[in-house]
Amino acid sequence: MTTASNQVALFSSEELNELFGEYKSFRRIAVGVSGGADSMALLYLLKQWTQELGFSAPELYALTVNHGLRAEAAGEASGVAQYCTRIEVPHETLHWVGEKPSSNIQSEARDARYALLRQAAEDHGCEALFLAHHLEDQAETFLTRLARGSGVYGLACIRKDREIDGFQICRPLLETSKVRLKSLLHSAQVPWFEDPSNEDEQFTRVKFRQAQQELDELGLTAAKLSDTARRMSRAADAIDVWVDEVAEKSCTFHSAGPVRFDSSCLEYIPDEIGLRLVGRLVRYISGAPYMPRLAKLEGLYETLKAEDGSRAATLGGVRFALAKPHDESIWFCFREAGRAGLPEIEVKPGDEGIWDDRWRYKAAHSAESFKITYVQKELCGDFELEIPANWLKTAFLTAPLIVFAGGVSYMPWKKIGRTTADAEVRSRTYGISMVPVSRTF
């Protein structure tokens, strides 16, 4: 374990309230704690804040992920657990199991960490997950995305608060420097671990971190880069207001998942608005947490605007298909099964989870197992789906389908099935629910 320079940097009650005051309404908070200086400082500050609030304060749960990528990780997780015992905060170590990637390691590990933290937080009944991204993280993210050629939304970088399917991701330290956090730990005599990968120059972020001193001399300080990212966020929010208005007029959303999109709107709106609209369609339909990379999105956008006879396109697992030859502006957007098909899972009594990143299922008190598949796989086109007028039948083939023992099927998005009454009775009796992960466009 290491300590910082001997500089007093304790936070006042006013500073704590500025950092966390808006989160007082939470009942339980999960804190991602790797053992590094940033996350240990976040945990310390949250503990200090909740102690000052008293009985009305949110409960804290500390969560550490052991990726299994370094031999030292187990010891670090144990060190975090010991500190949590000392300050009386419940702690759990989560493990990333399975085969580890040989490339794109940091990105894959980050995705795995978020998934584990999110699931554990929900298991503990937490309403939010707090992460320790700070000022320099924001600056590094900005530079990384700038080098990648990102647009307004990419350069908006890390948001302080983000809601995903009713769950909050909070990063209250985005305007706090790492130097201040390390000074706090030294002053409060809180230990931390250093991850050697933070100095590994094979990672792009590390290269930008090491170049920051030279950038400071040019006036590109972490604070100024962070300010620019914040202003980009403001511009992105303004664009989204316009996108919402266009979507309301040009998009029709079906409860099964597909969207009917009138692309004639692209003729009169600025390209930035159109790109964001199409990107949000891809994210909404696929269930992905983020929109596709801008370069790929621009290719799809040009296809939708073109008048060269293009009749279909695919991006991010979402298919865009023109309705009819005589209507060159109506596109149907829907989840594509792909060559491998969509997942089929067996659900046992009491199980809950997410199917295909799009639908959350729960068998609250089911007395029998059932299968979740998709319409095309089970019905093979031999069943009347009662497709609404002016909709493409193909767009519904990747909608979810519940199949009970004996072949009784139930479409959770539309109360129809081979034996409708039987399926509905079973669904109600056994407390089976299946709803979209998020209805937010």
Instruction: Quote the mean pLDDT of the chain.
Output: 86
Domain spans in the chain, listed from the N-terminal domain onward: 13-226, 254-335, 345-436
* The pLDDT value given to residue 416: 37
The annotation status of 35 as a binding-site residue, yes or no, is: yes
Look up the CATH superfamily of 13-226.
Answer: HUPs (3.40.50.620)
More confident site: 435 or 308: 435
What whole-number percentage of the chain has pLDDT above 70?
A: 87
- The answer, yes or no, to whether residue 142 has pLDDT greater than 80, is yes
- The answer, yes or no, to whether residue 322 has pLDDT greater than 50, is yes
| Average of per-residue pLDDT across 268-295 | 92
- The answer, yes or no, to whether residue 242 has pLDDT greater than 90, is yes
The annotation status of 39 as a binding-site residue, yes or no, is: yes
Query: What would the 3-class secondary structure string for the chain be?
Result: CECCCCCCCCCCHHHHHHHHHHHCCCCEEEEECCCCHHHHHHHHHHHHHHHHHHHHCCEEEEEEEECCCCCCHHHHHHHHHHHHHHHCCCEEEEECCCCCCCCCHHHHHHHHHHHHHHHHHHHCCCCEEECCCCHHHHHHHHHHHHHHCCCHHHHCCCCCEEEECCEEEECCCCCCCHHHHHHHHHHHCCCECCCHHHHCCCCHHHHHHHHHHHHHHCCCCHHHHHHHHHHHHHHHHHHHHHHHHHHHHHEEECCCCCEEEEHHHHHCCCHHHHHHHHHHHHHHHHCCCCCCCHHHHHHHHHHHHCCCCCCEEEECCEEEEEEECCEEEEEEEEECCCCCCCCCEEECCCCEEEECCCEEEEECCCCCCEEEEEHHHHHCCCCCCCCCCCCCHHHHCCCEEEECHHHCEECCCCCCCCCHHHHHHHHHHCCEEEEECCCCC
- The answer, yes or no, to whether residue 14 has pLDDT greater than 80, is yes
More confident site: 131 or 101: 131
More confident site: 80 or 440: 80
| Average of per-residue pLDDT across 75-102 | 91
* The pLDDT value given to residue 421: 45
The annotation status of 115 as a binding-site residue, yes or no, is: no
* The pLDDT value given to residue 378: 64
The annotation status of 121 as a binding-site residue, yes or no, is: no
More confident site: 375 or 242: 242
The annotation status of 177 as a binding-site residue, yes or no, is: no
Which tens digit of pLDDT belongs to each residue from 388-438?
778 888 899 999 988 887 777 777 776 433 334 444 444 555 567 788 886
pLDDT band at 331 (very low <50, low <70, confident <90, very high): very high
